[in-house]
Structures are given as structure tokens and as C-alpha cells.
């Protein structure tokens, strides 16, 4: 019976431990916190968006091979992942139709975390909480795992599921990334992904609390991303799903001392629709036309940005004013200064290059018996359950691989 140590009782690590044990391995799951799965508990506003209702693999981001990423995600098909939670763990899902997200019907993230931990225990996984791993390495007996305030542990295989650097308060301190770099793996520079953006001075600075659905585009010399979804003005800048989904373009540009542009289509109306909406119509004002489609406070600021008199009747609107206003409404530039960093980032971008592991088993190509899964790998997806999907798929593959089984 192979001895397997899994480091990290988060989403990827707990699933890895379950499948390694079910495949016949003697499994020890180590966790630095007292209970594990803390990112599960805070995800989805405490509801846990377990999976997207429908999976679009092209929405994942990686600086590695997109073909490898696709193989890794699809190794555990979406329908089978859903069946694992609903049928095996007994956690029925409910789809949030407007967002295409799957949540536990109970709307409780704790049910997901507790269900995974309970299933791992029932399968025979040994858990050691409040155990901080300080180093991993190879010795004459196989893999050695050093822990604080304790004797070294030994195993035939080690699964690193320590997460990245995002939300460090949950225990993600980047230690696993450091170990893997020290072991010679090719690393893509890490950065905060799915994080709110900030701005020091902006004409939109008075709009904190205003929210609406938008289409947001971010573009730099190296990257481009667009997203449609919720947008929220904050006291420091911008947040919401659309902002988080494009934020990595801005973050990476700033880290590279390069420039990036943010452009917003403030509602579903495009050039033709706004041209029609701004045609003369009785005594209707330009403010009235904008308020029909946009929050009142935002409409007032957009008129100021476009330098259009808010009291102007549509019949009096000059052609150049109309064109300038439409440009602001459909392709308005959004100023930015920085980002909220790892403290509020949903995930970590970058990490171990996907080519450093075997796609079917997640075993390191540099060190036999070492397996990687979850956020330490160079991939992340958009808001909406994609990053859990990545954790579940790579965790299962690593668990099967470490136990000597085979992932499809």
C-alpha cells in the first residue's frame, strides 16, 4: 500500500486525498489551519459557487500550453464532477440562472467544506490539522516532509496542494510555490488575479455603491480580455465580476511597467441603439435619455465626462456632442491606478508551468513521486466556479496518480 502525504486540506488537496485513499493508498492529509477549506467557506459570499453550470474551457488563463490545460480540466468531465458532489457527497445543487453558477441548494459553503472533510475521514484518510509543513525533500526512505514542532514524516509520494498567495488570511502564504521553485521547476511569475482595481483620482469618484451590468475590456501590449457582468464602484476604485475577470491584464501590465487601457460599454446599447435613443423626441433632455438606461448618478457623471450639458434638449444636441457622448457610453475609457493585490484576489495567476507535470497524473516531470494540483499550477479561470473546477479536476488526477491509479 503506497504511503501518500497530501499537503493542504483545501479544495484540491481534500479531493486528492479522497481519490488517493479510494484507490488504495495510505493517506495522510496535513493542514496548517485548525479546520481546512477556508477559501471554500468564504467563496461565493459564503454560499460557495461549486461549479459553473456550463463549462467553457477557453475562458481559463495560462501562460503555459492551453492544450495541456484543456486536457487537465477535461480529465474529470464537468458532469462527473457534479455527480460527485450531488450523488456521492449528497450535496444537491441549485443553478443561479442569471449568472450560470451552481451553488449548494442549502446556500451554505460550510456544507461543501464539511462534506468533503467528512467524506475524506469516512474513506479512511488520516487528517492532521494545525500542522505547518516547513520543507519537502527526498531522502533514503523516499519523500520527507518536515513539519514545525515535530519529527519529519515519510512517504512514497507527496501531493502539494498548498494554494497560491491569494487571501493570505486563509493560510495561503506561497510556501508550496517556494518549495517547488527550489526543486527546480520552471515557474511563471505569480501575480494577483481576479482582484479589484483602484484609482487615485477619477471623475467617477463620487459613485461608490453604484452597480450595474457592463461589458468591460482590458488591453495591454501582451494581453487582452473582455467580460460582461456586474460592475461596482467602490470607495477605492472598481470591483464586481466583470472587473475581476479582466483585472489580470491590468495587474500584469503594472508589474511589467507597461500600460493597459480599460474601456467600458455601460449598458447593452451599442452605437446604433444609442444613436436612435438620442434622436430628437419632443422636449426630452439628454439626461432623460441616459436615465432611461443607466443609474441616475452615473448618467450625470458620464455627461460631464463627455462634456455635454445635462439640460440640453435632444433636438439641440450638436452632432459632435452626440458622437462624443456615444463614444463615452459605448467605449468609455476607465482610469485606473493599481489593484487590491493578493489581499483581495480570488486566485493567484502564474505558478508552476503546466509542462512540468504529466497531464494525466499531475506527477512532476522533474521528481518522481511528487504531484502538484490546484493553485500552485499556472492556470486560473473567471469568476463563476471555474477555479473550483480546476481544483477538483487536478486534485482528483493527482490523488489517482499518487496512488498508482490512472486518470482518464
**Length of the chain measured in residues:** 408
Q: Is the model's pLDDT at 353 over the cut of 90?
A: yes
Instruction: Share the mean pLDDT of the chain.
Output: 96
Structure confidence at residue 172 (pLDDT):
84
Which runs of E-coded beta strand occur in 34-147? 51-52, 93-96, 101-104, 126-128, 133-139, 142-147
Task: Compute the average pLDDT of residues 275-304.
Answer: 96
CA dist., res. 351 & res. 116, Å (int): 26
CA dist., res. 387 & res. 37, Å (int): 14
Q: How far is CA 308 from CA 271, 276, 326, 334, in A?
A: 17, 17, 11, 18
Contacts of 333 (CB under 8 A, 6+ apart): 261, 262, 263, 264
Q: Is the model's pLDDT at 408 over the cut of 50?
A: no
* Class of residue 342 by CB neighbours under 10 A (exposed 0-12, middle 13-18, buried 19+): buried
* Class of residue 243 by CB neighbours under 10 A (exposed 0-12, middle 13-18, buried 19+): buried
Collapsed DSSP state (helix, strand, coil) of residue 149: coil
CA dist., res. 81 & res. 40, Å (int): 16
Structure confidence at residue 282 (pLDDT):
86
Letter string b/e over residues 286-315, b meaning 16 or more CB atoms within 10 A of that residue's CB: bbebbbebbbebbbbbbbebbebeeeebbe
* Class of residue 54 by CB neighbours under 10 A (exposed 0-12, middle 13-18, buried 19+): exposed
CA dist., res. 371 & res. 363, Å (int): 4
Contacts of 320 (CB under 8 A, 6+ apart): none
Which runs of E-coded beta strand occur in 199-356? 211-220, 224-233, 237-239, 260-265, 332-333, 338-339, 347-352
Q: Is the model's pLDDT at 406 over the cut of 60?
A: no
C-beta of residue 366 within 8 angstroms of C-beta of residue 372? no
Q: What is the pLDDT of residues 149-196, one digit of tens each?
A: 899 999 999 999 999 999 888 888 899 999 999 999 999 999 999 999
Q: What is the pLDDT of residues 261-279, one digit of tens each?
A: 999 999 999 999 999 999 9
Contacts of 201 (CB under 8 A, 6+ apart): 335
Q: Go through the domains of the chain in sequence order and give each one's CATH number.
A: 3-191+347-402 (3.50.50.60), 196-339 (no CATH)
Instruction: Report residue 378's pLDDT band, with 50, 70 and 90 as the boundaries.
Output: very high
Q: Is the model's pLDDT at 85 over the cut of 70?
A: yes
CA dist., res. 35 & res. 43, Å (int): 16
The DSSP code for 369 is: T
Letter string b/e over residues 82-102, b meaning 16 or more CB atoms within 10 A of that residue's CB: bebbbeebebeeeeeeebebb
- Taking alpha carbons only, the member of 208, 148, 145 closest to residue 7 is 145
Q: Is the model's pLDDT at 198 over the cut of 50?
A: yes
CA dist., res. 196 & res. 165, Å (int): 16
Q: What is the pLDDT of residues 299-320, one digit of tens each?
A: 999 999 999 999 999 999 999 9
Amino acid at each position: 500500500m503506497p504511503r501518500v502525504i497530501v499537503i493542504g486540506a483545501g479544495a484540491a488537496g481534500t479531493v486528492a486525498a479522497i481519490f488517493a485513499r479510494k484507490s488504495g493508498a495510505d493517506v495522510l492529509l496535513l493542514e496548517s489551519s485548525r479546520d481546512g477549506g477556508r477559501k471554500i467557506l468564504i467563496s461565493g459570499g459564503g454560499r460557495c459557487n461549486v461549479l459553473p453550470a456550463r463549462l467553457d474551457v477557453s475562458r481559463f488563463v495560462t501562460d503555459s500550453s492551453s492544450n495541456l490545460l484543456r486536457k487537465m480540466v477535461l480529465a474529470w468531465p464537468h458532469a462527473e464532477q457534479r455527480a460527485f458532489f450531488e450523488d456521492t457527497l449528497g450535496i444537491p445543487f441549485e443553478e443561479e440562472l442569471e449568472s450560470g453558477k451552481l451553488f449548494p441548494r442549502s446556500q451554505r459553503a460550510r456544507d461543501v467544506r464539511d462534506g468533503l472533510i467528512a467524506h475524506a475521514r469516512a474513506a479512511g484518510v488520516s487528517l492532521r490539522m494545525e500542522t505547518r509543513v516547513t520543507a519537502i525533500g527526498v531522502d533514503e526512505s523516499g519523500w520527507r516532509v518536515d513539519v514545525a514542532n515535530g519529527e519529519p514524516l515519510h512517504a512514497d509520494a507527496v501531493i502539494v496542494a498548498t494554494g497560491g498567495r491569494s487571501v493570505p488570511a486563509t493560510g495561503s502564504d506561497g510556501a508550496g510555490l517556494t518549495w517547488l521553485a527550489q526543486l527546480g521547476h520552471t515557474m511563471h511569475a505569480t501575480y494577483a488575479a481576479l482582484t479589484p482595481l483602484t484609482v487615485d483620482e477619477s471623475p467617477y469618484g463620487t459613485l461608490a455603491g453604484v452597480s450595474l451590468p457592463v461589458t468591460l475590456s482590458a488591453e495591454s501590449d501582451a494581453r487582452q480580455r473582455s467580460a460582461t457582468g456586474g460592475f461596482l464602484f467602490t470607495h477605492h476604485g472598481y470591483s464586481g465580476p466583470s472587473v475581476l475577470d479582466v483585472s489580470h491584464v491590468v495587474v500584469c501590465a503594472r508589474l511589467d511597467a507597461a500600460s493597459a487601457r480599460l474601456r467600458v460599454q455601460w449598458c447593452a446599447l451599442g452605437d446604433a441603439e444609442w444613436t436612435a435613443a438620442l434622436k430628437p423626441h419632443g422636449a426630452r433632455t439628454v439626461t432623460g435619455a441616459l436615465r432611461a438606461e443607466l443609474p441616475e448618478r452615473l448618467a450625470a457623471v458620464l455627461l460631464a465626462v463627455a462634456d455635454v450639458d445635462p439640460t440640453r434638449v435632444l433636438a439641440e444636441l450638436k452632432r459632435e456632442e452626440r458622437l462624443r457622448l456615444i463614444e463615452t457610453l459605448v467605449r468609455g475609457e476607465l482610469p485606473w491606478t493599481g489593484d487590491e493585490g493578493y489581499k483581495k484576489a480570488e486566485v493567484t495567476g502564474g505558478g508552476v508551468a503546466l509542462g512540468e507535470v504529466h497531464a494525466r497524473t499531475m506527477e512532476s516531470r522533474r521528481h518522481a513521486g511528487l504531484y502538484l494540483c490546484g493553485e500552485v499550477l499556472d492556470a486560473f479561470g473567471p469568476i463563476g466556479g471555474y477555479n473550483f473546477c480546476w481544483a477538483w479536476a487536478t486534485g482528483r488526477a493527482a490523488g489517482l496518480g499518487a496512488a498508482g491509479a490512472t486518470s482518464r
